[in-house]
Amino acid sequence: MIGVKYSDVYAVTETFQLLKTDWEWYNSTKTYDVVIAKKSDLPNYTGNIIDLTDNDVFKKIRILLNDGQEHLHEPYVEIYIDYLRSEIKKYVVLVEIPPMSWGYPYMLALTHDVDNVSVIQSPLRSVCMAALRCFMKLDINSGLNILLSKIGLKKDPWLLFEWWHQNEHNINVRSTFFIIPPHHNGIKSHKYRESAYTFNPNTYNTLWRDGWELGVHGINNWISPAEGSFERGYIGDFIGNRTHWLLHDETSWELLDKSGYKYDTTFGYDDDVGYRAGTTQVYKPYNVKSLLELPLHIQDTALFGKSCWIQHDSKFINKPCLNLSESAARKYCEYILSNAKRFGGVVTVLWHYENVTAPRNWQNTYWHIISKAKSDGAWITTAGNIVDWFQLRRDTNFTYAIDDKKITIRIKPQKRALLQIIRIHIDPAKIKEVTGHIYVTHNDYIDIRHYDSQKIEVILC
Protein backbone atom coordinates (compact mmCIF):
# COMPACT_ATOMS: atom_id res chain seq x y z
CA MET A 1 0.00 0.00 0.00
CA ILE A 2 1.11 3.56 -0.78
CA GLY A 3 0.43 6.23 1.83
CA VAL A 4 0.60 9.97 1.21
CA LYS A 5 1.09 12.78 3.73
CA TYR A 6 0.70 16.18 2.05
CA SER A 7 -1.33 19.32 2.67
CA ASP A 8 -2.52 20.09 -0.89
CA VAL A 9 -5.46 17.77 -1.56
CA TYR A 10 -5.91 18.84 -5.20
CA ALA A 11 -2.22 18.37 -6.07
CA VAL A 12 -2.15 14.82 -4.71
CA THR A 13 -5.50 13.62 -6.05
CA GLU A 14 -4.82 15.00 -9.53
CA THR A 15 -1.32 13.54 -9.60
CA PHE A 16 -2.80 10.12 -8.83
CA GLN A 17 -5.36 10.54 -11.59
CA LEU A 18 -2.38 10.87 -13.94
CA LEU A 19 -0.42 8.06 -12.28
CA LYS A 20 -3.52 5.89 -11.93
CA THR A 21 -2.72 3.53 -9.07
CA ASP A 22 -4.01 2.51 -5.65
CA TRP A 23 -3.07 4.84 -2.78
CA GLU A 24 -4.50 6.43 0.37
CA TRP A 25 -3.92 9.27 2.78
CA TYR A 26 -1.37 8.40 5.45
CA ASN A 27 -2.82 6.93 8.65
CA SER A 28 -0.40 6.53 11.53
CA THR A 29 -2.17 3.36 12.69
CA LYS A 30 -1.43 1.53 9.42
CA THR A 31 1.66 -0.05 7.90
CA TYR A 32 2.69 0.99 4.36
CA ASP A 33 5.10 -0.36 1.81
CA VAL A 34 6.10 3.25 1.15
CA VAL A 35 4.99 6.71 2.23
CA ILE A 36 5.27 9.84 0.09
CA ALA A 37 5.84 12.95 2.19
CA LYS A 38 8.27 15.60 3.28
CA LYS A 39 10.55 14.39 6.07
CA SER A 40 9.56 17.40 8.13
CA ASP A 41 5.91 16.28 8.07
CA LEU A 42 6.83 12.81 9.42
CA PRO A 43 10.00 13.41 11.44
CA ASN A 44 9.72 10.18 13.45
CA TYR A 45 8.69 7.85 10.61
CA THR A 46 11.09 4.91 10.27
CA GLY A 47 9.60 3.07 7.27
CA ASN A 48 10.24 3.53 3.55
CA ILE A 49 9.68 7.11 2.48
CA ILE A 50 9.88 9.06 -0.77
CA ASP A 51 11.05 12.42 0.55
CA LEU A 52 9.62 15.42 -1.30
CA THR A 53 11.79 17.98 0.49
CA ASP A 54 14.12 18.64 -2.44
CA ASN A 55 11.83 17.46 -5.24
CA ASP A 56 8.22 18.37 -4.54
CA VAL A 57 6.63 16.77 -7.58
CA PHE A 58 3.10 17.43 -6.30
CA LYS A 59 3.72 21.17 -6.24
CA LYS A 60 5.45 21.15 -9.63
CA ILE A 61 2.60 19.24 -11.25
CA ARG A 62 -0.05 21.52 -9.76
CA ILE A 63 1.71 24.65 -11.05
CA LEU A 64 2.16 23.31 -14.57
CA LEU A 65 -1.39 22.05 -14.93
CA ASN A 66 -2.96 25.29 -13.76
CA ASP A 67 -0.50 28.12 -14.45
CA GLY A 68 1.34 26.60 -17.40
CA GLN A 69 4.70 27.67 -18.74
CA GLU A 70 5.71 29.48 -21.90
CA HIS A 71 7.77 27.71 -24.57
CA LEU A 72 7.91 24.36 -22.80
CA HIS A 73 9.06 21.68 -25.23
CA GLU A 74 9.22 18.69 -22.89
CA PRO A 75 6.23 17.05 -21.13
CA TYR A 76 7.52 17.72 -17.64
CA VAL A 77 4.39 16.50 -15.88
CA GLU A 78 4.94 13.07 -17.46
CA ILE A 79 8.62 13.24 -16.48
CA TYR A 80 7.64 14.00 -12.87
CA ILE A 81 5.09 11.17 -12.95
CA ASP A 82 7.76 8.82 -14.29
CA TYR A 83 10.10 9.85 -11.48
CA LEU A 84 7.40 9.10 -8.91
CA ARG A 85 6.68 5.78 -10.61
CA SER A 86 10.39 4.81 -10.48
CA GLU A 87 10.64 5.69 -6.79
CA ILE A 88 7.53 3.70 -5.86
CA LYS A 89 8.82 0.66 -7.76
CA LYS A 90 11.83 0.52 -5.42
CA TYR A 91 9.53 -0.56 -2.59
CA VAL A 92 6.47 -2.26 -4.04
CA VAL A 93 5.16 -4.03 -7.15
CA LEU A 94 3.33 -1.16 -8.81
CA VAL A 95 0.01 -1.74 -10.57
CA GLU A 96 -1.39 1.10 -12.67
CA ILE A 97 -3.75 1.98 -15.51
CA PRO A 98 -1.54 3.80 -18.05
CA PRO A 99 -2.95 6.65 -20.19
CA MET A 100 -3.51 4.58 -23.32
CA SER A 101 -6.19 2.21 -24.57
CA TRP A 102 -5.42 -1.44 -25.28
CA GLY A 103 -3.69 -1.80 -28.64
CA TYR A 104 -2.66 1.86 -28.99
CA PRO A 105 0.58 3.50 -27.80
CA TYR A 106 -1.07 6.93 -27.66
CA MET A 107 -3.97 9.01 -28.99
CA LEU A 108 -4.23 11.79 -31.57
CA ALA A 109 -7.05 14.34 -31.26
CA LEU A 110 -7.83 16.07 -34.57
CA THR A 111 -9.47 19.49 -34.23
CA HIS A 112 -10.33 22.45 -36.46
CA ASP A 113 -11.18 26.00 -35.39
CA VAL A 114 -13.72 27.44 -37.82
CA ASP A 115 -13.00 31.18 -37.93
CA ASN A 116 -14.92 31.58 -41.19
CA VAL A 117 -16.97 29.31 -43.44
CA SER A 118 -16.82 31.12 -46.78
CA VAL A 119 -15.35 34.09 -48.59
CA ILE A 120 -18.85 35.55 -48.97
CA GLN A 121 -19.43 35.64 -45.19
CA SER A 122 -15.92 36.82 -44.29
CA PRO A 123 -15.21 40.51 -43.51
CA LEU A 124 -13.87 42.44 -46.49
CA ARG A 125 -10.70 43.23 -44.53
CA SER A 126 -9.96 39.51 -44.08
CA VAL A 127 -10.68 38.73 -47.74
CA CYS A 128 -8.39 41.51 -48.96
CA MET A 129 -5.64 40.41 -46.59
CA ALA A 130 -5.90 36.81 -47.85
CA ALA A 131 -5.73 38.01 -51.47
CA LEU A 132 -2.73 40.21 -50.66
CA ARG A 133 -0.90 37.23 -49.12
CA CYS A 134 -1.49 35.32 -52.36
CA PHE A 135 -0.16 38.19 -54.46
CA MET A 136 2.94 38.49 -52.26
CA LYS A 137 3.63 34.79 -52.96
CA LEU A 138 3.11 35.50 -56.69
CA ASP A 139 0.03 33.26 -56.60
CA ILE A 140 -1.98 35.69 -58.69
CA ASN A 141 -4.74 33.26 -59.72
CA SER A 142 -5.61 32.31 -56.15
CA GLY A 143 -5.66 35.95 -55.06
CA LEU A 144 -7.98 36.91 -57.90
CA ASN A 145 -10.24 33.92 -57.23
CA ILE A 146 -10.64 35.02 -53.62
CA LEU A 147 -11.53 38.60 -54.60
CA LEU A 148 -13.88 37.57 -57.40
CA SER A 149 -15.67 35.00 -55.24
CA LYS A 150 -16.44 37.79 -52.76
CA ILE A 151 -18.65 39.39 -55.40
CA GLY A 152 -20.03 36.10 -56.68
CA LEU A 153 -18.05 35.80 -59.90
CA LYS A 154 -16.03 32.72 -58.89
CA LYS A 155 -16.68 29.56 -56.90
CA ASP A 156 -16.11 30.22 -53.21
CA PRO A 157 -12.77 28.52 -52.29
CA TRP A 158 -13.53 28.57 -48.56
CA LEU A 159 -16.62 26.34 -48.69
CA LEU A 160 -14.70 23.45 -47.21
CA PHE A 161 -16.89 21.30 -44.98
CA GLU A 162 -17.57 18.85 -47.80
CA TRP A 163 -13.83 18.85 -48.59
CA TRP A 164 -12.93 18.02 -45.00
CA HIS A 165 -15.64 15.38 -44.82
CA GLN A 166 -14.43 13.63 -47.96
CA ASN A 167 -10.69 13.81 -47.33
CA GLU A 168 -10.82 12.68 -43.70
CA HIS A 169 -13.33 10.00 -44.60
CA ASN A 170 -10.95 8.70 -47.28
CA ILE A 171 -8.31 7.90 -44.66
CA ASN A 172 -10.85 6.77 -42.04
CA VAL A 173 -10.34 9.50 -39.45
CA ARG A 174 -12.80 11.83 -37.71
CA SER A 175 -12.22 15.22 -36.16
CA THR A 176 -13.83 18.00 -34.12
CA PHE A 177 -14.95 21.34 -35.58
CA PHE A 178 -15.20 24.26 -33.15
CA ILE A 179 -17.92 26.63 -34.40
CA ILE A 180 -18.29 30.34 -33.51
CA PRO A 181 -21.77 31.07 -32.07
CA PRO A 182 -23.73 33.80 -33.84
CA HIS A 183 -23.69 37.01 -31.82
CA HIS A 184 -21.89 40.31 -31.34
CA ASN A 185 -18.13 40.81 -31.28
CA GLY A 186 -16.33 39.55 -28.18
CA ILE A 187 -15.98 41.31 -24.88
CA LYS A 188 -12.34 42.19 -24.14
CA SER A 189 -11.79 41.78 -27.87
CA HIS A 190 -9.04 42.94 -30.18
CA LYS A 191 -10.38 44.58 -33.35
CA TYR A 192 -8.86 41.83 -35.55
CA ARG A 193 -10.56 39.11 -33.50
CA GLU A 194 -14.02 39.80 -34.92
CA SER A 195 -15.54 36.78 -36.63
CA ALA A 196 -19.16 35.94 -37.39
CA TYR A 197 -21.04 33.72 -39.81
CA THR A 198 -24.16 31.61 -40.24
CA PHE A 199 -23.61 27.88 -39.93
CA ASN A 200 -25.75 25.67 -42.17
CA PRO A 201 -27.80 23.23 -40.02
CA ASN A 202 -27.67 20.62 -42.78
CA THR A 203 -23.87 20.61 -42.49
CA TYR A 204 -24.26 20.28 -38.72
CA ASN A 205 -26.50 17.22 -39.06
CA THR A 206 -24.31 15.55 -41.71
CA LEU A 207 -21.15 15.89 -39.63
CA TRP A 208 -22.76 14.53 -36.47
CA ARG A 209 -24.40 11.66 -38.34
CA ASP A 210 -21.13 10.53 -39.94
CA GLY A 211 -19.02 10.58 -36.76
CA TRP A 212 -17.52 14.05 -36.67
CA GLU A 213 -17.95 16.22 -33.59
CA LEU A 214 -18.91 19.87 -33.15
CA GLY A 215 -17.88 22.14 -30.30
CA VAL A 216 -18.02 25.82 -29.42
CA HIS A 217 -15.31 28.20 -30.61
CA GLY A 218 -16.08 30.51 -27.73
CA ILE A 219 -16.12 34.28 -27.97
CA ASN A 220 -17.35 35.40 -24.55
CA ASN A 221 -17.85 32.12 -22.67
CA TRP A 222 -14.46 32.34 -20.94
CA ILE A 223 -15.45 35.48 -19.01
CA SER A 224 -19.14 35.07 -18.16
CA PRO A 225 -21.31 32.08 -17.11
CA ALA A 226 -24.34 33.67 -18.78
CA GLU A 227 -22.48 34.05 -22.08
CA GLY A 228 -21.03 30.60 -21.63
CA SER A 229 -24.44 28.99 -21.24
CA PHE A 230 -25.72 30.87 -24.29
CA GLU A 231 -22.82 29.75 -26.47
CA ARG A 232 -22.98 26.16 -25.23
CA GLY A 233 -26.66 25.99 -26.12
CA TYR A 234 -25.81 26.70 -29.73
CA ILE A 235 -24.38 23.19 -30.25
CA GLY A 236 -25.87 20.69 -27.78
CA ASP A 237 -25.38 18.77 -24.56
CA PHE A 238 -22.11 16.88 -25.02
CA ILE A 239 -20.01 19.88 -25.67
CA GLY A 240 -16.44 21.07 -25.57
CA ASN A 241 -14.94 24.50 -26.00
CA ARG A 242 -11.91 26.13 -27.51
CA THR A 243 -11.89 29.87 -27.03
CA HIS A 244 -11.11 32.03 -30.07
CA TRP A 245 -7.47 33.23 -30.02
CA LEU A 246 -6.90 30.82 -27.08
CA LEU A 247 -7.94 33.56 -24.66
CA HIS A 248 -7.80 32.37 -21.07
CA ASP A 249 -7.31 33.74 -17.57
CA GLU A 250 -7.26 32.39 -14.02
CA THR A 251 -11.07 32.26 -13.78
CA SER A 252 -11.88 30.78 -17.22
CA TRP A 253 -12.00 27.09 -16.26
CA GLU A 254 -14.28 27.77 -13.32
CA LEU A 255 -16.65 29.85 -15.46
CA LEU A 256 -16.74 27.27 -18.26
CA ASP A 257 -17.44 24.60 -15.65
CA LYS A 258 -20.35 26.60 -14.24
CA SER A 259 -21.66 27.07 -17.79
CA GLY A 260 -21.95 23.30 -18.23
CA TYR A 261 -19.11 22.53 -20.64
CA LYS A 262 -17.82 18.98 -20.50
CA TYR A 263 -14.32 19.88 -21.61
CA ASP A 264 -12.09 22.73 -22.73
CA THR A 265 -9.14 22.52 -25.12
CA THR A 266 -7.85 26.10 -25.06
CA PHE A 267 -4.69 25.65 -22.99
CA GLY A 268 -1.91 25.74 -25.58
CA TYR A 269 0.30 28.11 -27.55
CA ASP A 270 -0.54 30.54 -30.34
CA ASP A 271 3.14 31.23 -31.02
CA ASP A 272 4.78 27.86 -30.32
CA VAL A 273 4.35 24.10 -30.34
CA GLY A 274 4.73 22.12 -27.15
CA TYR A 275 3.39 21.65 -23.64
CA ARG A 276 1.90 24.73 -22.03
CA ALA A 277 0.35 22.49 -19.34
CA GLY A 278 3.38 20.18 -19.30
CA THR A 279 1.30 17.09 -20.00
CA THR A 280 0.05 14.65 -22.63
CA GLN A 281 -2.94 13.74 -20.45
CA VAL A 282 -6.45 15.08 -20.05
CA TYR A 283 -6.75 16.54 -16.54
CA LYS A 284 -9.02 18.43 -14.18
CA PRO A 285 -7.99 22.02 -13.40
CA TYR A 286 -8.17 23.34 -9.87
CA ASN A 287 -11.48 24.50 -8.42
CA VAL A 288 -13.81 22.94 -10.99
CA LYS A 289 -16.45 20.28 -10.41
CA SER A 290 -16.47 18.35 -13.66
CA LEU A 291 -14.72 20.24 -16.50
CA LEU A 292 -11.69 18.49 -17.99
CA GLU A 293 -8.88 20.12 -19.97
CA LEU A 294 -7.62 18.51 -23.16
CA PRO A 295 -4.28 20.30 -23.60
CA LEU A 296 -3.39 21.70 -27.01
CA HIS A 297 0.04 20.76 -28.43
CA ILE A 298 0.28 21.53 -32.16
CA GLN A 299 -1.28 24.49 -33.99
CA ASP A 300 -0.82 25.22 -37.70
CA THR A 301 -0.45 29.01 -37.40
CA ALA A 302 2.14 28.59 -34.64
CA LEU A 303 4.18 26.34 -36.94
CA PHE A 304 3.94 28.36 -40.15
CA GLY A 305 2.69 31.83 -39.21
CA LYS A 306 4.90 34.89 -38.96
CA SER A 307 3.19 36.54 -35.99
CA CYS A 308 0.06 36.44 -33.83
CA TRP A 309 -1.80 38.59 -31.33
CA ILE A 310 -1.53 37.34 -27.75
CA GLN A 311 -3.28 38.72 -24.70
CA HIS A 312 -0.90 40.05 -22.08
CA ASP A 313 -2.56 41.38 -18.93
CA SER A 314 -5.25 43.71 -20.30
CA LYS A 315 -3.49 44.35 -23.62
CA PHE A 316 -2.80 42.49 -26.86
CA ILE A 317 0.78 42.19 -28.07
CA ASN A 318 2.03 40.95 -31.42
CA LYS A 319 4.52 38.10 -31.02
CA PRO A 320 6.47 36.14 -33.63
CA CYS A 321 5.40 32.59 -34.46
CA LEU A 322 7.82 29.83 -35.46
CA ASN A 323 7.50 30.54 -39.23
CA LEU A 324 9.04 27.15 -40.08
CA SER A 325 9.68 25.45 -43.37
CA GLU A 326 7.56 22.38 -44.06
CA SER A 327 10.42 19.98 -43.34
CA ALA A 328 11.28 21.72 -40.06
CA ALA A 329 7.61 21.73 -39.02
CA ARG A 330 7.33 18.01 -39.64
CA LYS A 331 10.38 17.30 -37.47
CA TYR A 332 8.88 19.44 -34.69
CA CYS A 333 5.60 17.51 -34.86
CA GLU A 334 7.33 14.14 -35.04
CA TYR A 335 9.16 14.97 -31.81
CA ILE A 336 5.85 15.72 -30.08
CA LEU A 337 4.49 12.39 -31.34
CA SER A 338 7.61 10.57 -30.14
CA ASN A 339 7.04 11.87 -26.61
CA ALA A 340 3.48 10.55 -26.72
CA LYS A 341 4.79 7.20 -27.90
CA ARG A 342 7.12 7.18 -24.90
CA PHE A 343 4.69 8.33 -22.21
CA GLY A 344 1.24 7.60 -23.62
CA GLY A 345 -1.57 10.12 -23.49
CA VAL A 346 -2.78 12.34 -26.30
CA VAL A 347 -1.40 14.81 -28.83
CA THR A 348 -3.98 17.48 -29.71
CA VAL A 349 -3.70 19.04 -33.17
CA LEU A 350 -5.38 22.28 -34.23
CA TRP A 351 -5.57 22.75 -38.01
CA HIS A 352 -7.75 25.71 -38.92
CA TYR A 353 -10.69 24.96 -41.19
CA GLU A 354 -9.45 27.25 -43.99
CA ASN A 355 -5.72 26.54 -43.79
CA VAL A 356 -5.80 23.90 -46.50
CA THR A 357 -6.19 26.37 -49.33
CA ALA A 358 -4.64 29.63 -50.51
CA PRO A 359 -3.08 31.67 -49.07
CA ARG A 360 -2.31 29.20 -46.26
CA ASN A 361 -2.31 25.81 -47.91
CA TRP A 362 -0.59 23.89 -45.12
CA GLN A 363 -2.49 20.65 -45.53
CA ASN A 364 0.53 18.46 -46.41
CA THR A 365 1.88 18.70 -42.87
CA TYR A 366 -1.56 17.87 -41.43
CA TRP A 367 -1.73 14.68 -43.47
CA HIS A 368 1.90 13.91 -42.54
CA ILE A 369 1.06 14.10 -38.83
CA ILE A 370 -1.82 11.68 -39.33
CA SER A 371 0.31 9.34 -41.44
CA LYS A 372 3.05 9.26 -38.80
CA ALA A 373 0.53 8.63 -36.01
CA LYS A 374 -1.03 5.81 -38.04
CA SER A 375 2.38 4.22 -38.57
CA ASP A 376 2.89 4.41 -34.79
CA GLY A 377 -0.43 2.61 -34.28
CA ALA A 378 -2.08 5.57 -32.51
CA TRP A 379 -5.81 5.91 -31.87
CA ILE A 380 -6.88 8.86 -34.05
CA THR A 381 -10.27 10.33 -33.20
CA THR A 382 -12.27 13.36 -32.06
CA ALA A 383 -11.51 15.48 -29.02
CA GLY A 384 -14.74 14.36 -27.36
CA ASN A 385 -13.98 10.66 -27.73
CA ILE A 386 -10.61 11.10 -26.08
CA VAL A 387 -12.00 13.20 -23.22
CA ASP A 388 -14.68 10.57 -22.71
CA TRP A 389 -12.02 7.82 -22.51
CA PHE A 390 -10.02 9.76 -19.92
CA GLN A 391 -13.17 10.48 -17.90
CA LEU A 392 -13.96 6.77 -17.71
CA ARG A 393 -10.35 6.08 -16.69
CA ARG A 394 -10.68 8.69 -13.93
CA ASP A 395 -13.85 6.97 -12.76
CA THR A 396 -12.12 3.58 -12.53
CA ASN A 397 -11.11 2.61 -8.99
CA PHE A 398 -9.20 -0.49 -8.05
CA THR A 399 -7.22 -2.07 -5.24
CA TYR A 400 -4.63 -4.80 -5.33
CA ALA A 401 -2.99 -7.20 -2.93
CA ILE A 402 0.17 -9.26 -3.30
CA ASP A 403 1.34 -12.41 -1.60
CA ASP A 404 3.93 -15.07 -2.43
CA LYS A 405 1.65 -16.87 -4.87
CA LYS A 406 -0.49 -14.29 -6.61
CA ILE A 407 -1.46 -10.70 -7.26
CA THR A 408 -5.19 -10.02 -6.86
CA ILE A 409 -6.63 -6.89 -8.48
CA ARG A 410 -10.19 -5.86 -7.69
CA ILE A 411 -11.86 -3.28 -9.94
CA LYS A 412 -14.98 -1.58 -8.65
CA PRO A 413 -18.00 -1.91 -10.97
CA GLN A 414 -18.34 0.91 -13.50
CA LYS A 415 -21.41 2.47 -15.08
CA ARG A 416 -19.75 2.07 -18.49
CA ALA A 417 -17.15 -0.50 -19.48
CA LEU A 418 -13.80 0.80 -20.72
CA LEU A 419 -11.19 -1.01 -22.78
CA GLN A 420 -7.97 -0.28 -20.93
CA ILE A 421 -4.68 -1.71 -19.74
CA ILE A 422 -3.82 -2.99 -16.29
CA ARG A 423 -0.04 -2.68 -16.11
CA ILE A 424 1.94 -4.62 -13.51
CA HIS A 425 5.56 -3.60 -13.04
CA ILE A 426 7.08 -7.00 -12.42
CA ASP A 427 9.61 -9.29 -14.09
CA PRO A 428 7.52 -11.23 -16.65
CA ALA A 429 9.55 -14.36 -15.81
CA LYS A 430 7.78 -14.42 -12.45
CA ILE A 431 4.35 -14.74 -14.08
CA LYS A 432 2.90 -18.24 -14.36
CA GLU A 433 -0.65 -17.37 -15.43
CA VAL A 434 -3.13 -14.50 -15.74
CA THR A 435 -6.50 -16.13 -15.21
CA GLY A 436 -9.00 -15.51 -17.99
CA HIS A 437 -7.30 -12.45 -19.50
CA ILE A 438 -5.14 -11.67 -22.51
CA TYR A 439 -1.79 -10.15 -21.62
CA VAL A 440 1.50 -9.20 -23.25
CA THR A 441 4.96 -9.07 -21.73
CA HIS A 442 7.56 -6.32 -21.94
CA ASN A 443 11.06 -6.00 -20.48
CA ASP A 444 10.02 -5.21 -16.92
CA TYR A 445 6.23 -5.18 -16.87
CA ILE A 446 3.17 -6.93 -18.25
CA ASP A 447 0.03 -5.39 -19.76
CA ILE A 448 -3.31 -7.08 -19.15
CA ARG A 449 -6.30 -6.41 -21.38
CA HIS A 450 -9.18 -5.25 -19.20
CA TYR A 451 -12.73 -4.42 -20.24
CA ASP A 452 -15.45 -5.06 -17.69
CA SER A 453 -14.23 -7.74 -15.27
CA GLN A 454 -14.17 -6.92 -11.56
CA LYS A 455 -11.31 -9.23 -10.58
CA ILE A 456 -7.97 -10.20 -12.09
CA GLU A 457 -5.73 -12.85 -10.58
CA VAL A 458 -2.08 -13.13 -11.57
CA ILE A 459 -0.52 -16.42 -10.50
CA LEU A 460 3.19 -16.20 -9.68
CA CYS A 461 5.85 -18.85 -10.19
Q: Which amino acid does the sequence have at 390?
A: F
Q: In sequence order, what are the residues at sequence separation of 6 or more whose Cβ sits closer than 8 angstroms to the Cβ of residue 428?
A: 441, 442, 444, 445, 446
**Res 184: pLDDT:** 58
Question: Are 293 and 279 within 8 A, CB to CB?
Answer: no
How far apart, in whole angstroms, are the C-alpha atoms of residue 378 and residue 375?
8
pLDDT at 312: 81
Q: How far is CA 97 from CA 201, 334, 459, in A?
A: 40, 26, 19
Confidence at residue 411, expressed as pLDDT on a 0 to 100 scale: 95
Give the helix, strand, coil percentages of the chain, each rounded to 5: 35, 20, 45
Q: What is the pLDDT of residue 368?
A: 98
CB burial readout 306-342, b (16+ within 10 A) else e: eebbbbeeeebeeeebbebeeeebbebbeebbebbbe
Contact 316, 190 (CB under 8 A): yes
Torsion angle, alpha carbons of 60, 66, 70, 72, to 10: 50
Please, which residues bridge with residue 2 across strands?
34
* pLDDT given for residue 187 in this prediction: 72
Give me the pLDDT at residue 327, please: 97
Strand (E) or helix (H) holding 379: strand 379-381
Dihedral sign from CA coordinates of 246, 252, 253, 259: negative
**CA-to-CA distance for 438 and 124, rounded, in angstroms?**
60
Contact 242, 214 (CB under 8 A): no
pLDDT tens, N- to C-terminus, the chain (461 residues): 999 999 999 999 999 999 999 999 999 999 999 999 999 999 999 999 999 999 999 999 999 999 999 999 999 999 999 999 999 999 999 999 999 999 999 999 999 999 999 999 998 989 999 999 999 999 999 999 999 999 999 999 999 999 999 999 999 999 999 999 876 567 777 777 778 888 888 888 899 999 999 999 999 888 888 889 888 887 776 689 999 999 999 999 999 999 999 999 999 999 999 999 999 999 999 999 999 999 999 999 999 999 999 988 778 999 999 999 999 999 999 999 999 999 999 999 999 999 999 999 999 999 999 999 999 999 999 999 999 999 999 999 999 999 989 999 999 988 788 899 999 999 999 999 999 899 999 999 999 999 988 999 999 99
Give the per-residue pLDDT at 247.
Answer: 92
What is the spatial distance between Cα 188 and Cα 220, in angstroms, rounded to a whole number? 8
- pTM of the full predicted structure? 0.96
Contact between 306 and 321 (Cβ < 8 Å): yes
Residue by residue, DSSP assigns 175-231 as: -EEEE--SSSPPTT--GGG-------HHHHHHHHHTT-EEEE--SSTTT-HHHHHHH
Residue type (1 letter), 354: E
C-alpha 370/C-alpha 373 separation (Å) is 5
Phi, psi of 145 (to 5 degrees): -60, -40
For 50, what's the count of Cα atoms within 13 Å in the CB-facing half-sphere? 25
R_g of the chain, CA atoms, integer Å: 24
Distance, CA of 395 to CA of 292 (rounded, Å): 13
Which is nearest to 57 in space by CA: 36, 74, 39, 33? 36
CA pair distance 267, 295, nearest whole angstrom: 5
pLDDT the model gives residue 204: 85
C-alpha span between 152 and 129 (Å, rounded): 18
Neighbouring-strand partners of residue 441: 446
Q: Is the backbone peptide bond immediately before 98 cis, with ω within 30 degrees of 0?
A: no
Q: How far is the C-alpha of 278 from the C-alpha of 266, rounded, in Å?
A: 14
